Amino acid sequence: MEDQSGQVITREMLAEEAATPGVVPHGIQLAAGWFWRLLVIGAGLYGIWFVLSGLSEVIIPLLVALLFTAALWPMKTWLQGRGLPRGAAAGLSLLALVALVAAIFSLVGAQIASQSSSLADASVKSYEQFMNWLASGPLQLHETQIDGWTQKGIVWAKSQQSVFTGYAAAAGAQLGHFFAGIALALFALFYFLYEGRTFARAGFSLVPKGSRSRIADACGKGWTSLVSYVRAAVIVAAVDGLGAGIGAALVGSDLFLAIGALTFITAFVPLLGAFVAGLVSTSVVLLTLGWVKALIMLGIFVAVMELEAHVLQPFLLGKAVSIHPLAVLYGLAVGTILAGVVGALFAVPMLAFANAFIRAMRSHGSHDELPADEESGHEPAAVALSEEPSTQP
């Protein structure tokens, strides 16, 4: 056996150490060494987390921009390969994203606006049916009891007006921060697409020269894994949204576009997103079309979730990133506890990058030069963000 310094420890030495009064056993020294080092690492991580939490209004837009950069990087590279200047390729990729998002929200907003009156009427009708069921159903509640509970609810709502006003003011402030974050994310997204390689080179210049190529290779593998994950996640979300929208149209819902768009957006949060979209969509169908079609809609969502879990994720996400489902589940749980919805959104992409980075650090030694792309054999796409910037304007 060897100690931390590499010195060989024999049984005789351990026995002599144990027999010497006042000498701390080697096992205790080893455990203490691990313990204080882990404490230092934990304190460092907590300090980093504390700083990042205080700068969340700046950090979150940067992370969002980084994810969209991973999604748009293949498109930007393809446009550059067709002869477009680097700036034009980055700008067109950004405009394509903005146009897609604007089209989705415009279609959804127009559909909701056109169905708002019928949705309100259906909601009132469903409420009346629920009240009738309380009176004539198995509960056999008297009308006076229902009226009494309704009046108590109205009185409580009036007494909480100041609280509701505070919530509304806070929501207005958060809305302002949200739009400011969108502006920051779009600005950062353009420059990540335009000068991402320059930023990466500047970052790698801070790494010690002896480890630079190895870390660059590991970062490149992590970036490749992140791009593959985002691409697969977009395909999975599109299939989920299409399936949910077609299912809603088949049951006769006039809000099928809104249901499909909601499913597409929430599908980027693995496991939890489809559940939330199914709950909201089934509730909408229940209010507008009744419980029979709501059950059919629920069955459609179960089928979509099964398709995602047993077909799409194993064949697409499984090939993109080799992460065990248990790691995904616990990553989502930890991300949600630490940062809520934002943590759930970024947990799996961060796991994908970290998994590929650690695998590359373990399997590759130091190299004198940056590695070439193993698949294409052309420019080192595995370290796509670490190349010298193009000379194009």
Q: Is 335 exposed, middle or buried (0-12, 13-18, 19+ CB in 10 A)?
A: buried
Note the pLDDT of residue 195: 85
d(CA 393, CA 385): 17
Among 157-166, 216-225, 376-385, where is mean pLDDT lowest?
Answer: 376-385
Mean pLDDT for 366-386 is: 40
If pLDDT is split at 50, 70 and 90, which confidence band does 95 have?
very high
Residues 6+ apart with CB under 8 A from 7: none
* 46: pLDDT strictly greater than 90: no
Task: Provide the percentage of residues in the chain whose pLDDT is more than 90.
Answer: 2
d(CA 321, CA 331): 14
* 64: pLDDT strictly greater than 80: yes
d(CA 225, CA 353): 6
| 67-76, 246-255, 274-283 — most confident range | 67-76
Region of 289 on the Ramachandran plot (φ > 0 left; ψ -120 to 50 alpha; else beta): alpha
Name the token pair of 48.
């980093």
Note the pLDDT of residue 39: 92
Q: Which residue has the higher pLDDT, 347 or 139?
A: 347
If pLDDT is split at 50, 70 and 90, which confidence band does 238 have?
confident
Name the β-bridge partners of 2: 8
Give backbone dihedrals phi and psi of 6, rounded to 5 degrees, phi first: 95, 0
If pLDDT is split at 50, 70 and 90, which confidence band does 180 have?
confident
Say whether 84 sits in a helix, a strand or coil. Answer: coil
* 40: pLDDT strictly greater than 90: yes
Nearest 5°: the CA angle 47, 52, 55 is 135
Note the pLDDT of residue 161: 67
d(CA 276, CA 257): 17
Among 32-36, 69-73, 311-315, 387-391, where is mean pLDDT lowest?
Answer: 387-391
pLDDT tens-digit readout, 106-117: 877 777 777 666
Q: Which residue has the higher pLDDT, 341 or 313?
A: 341
Name the token pair of 210.
């002896």
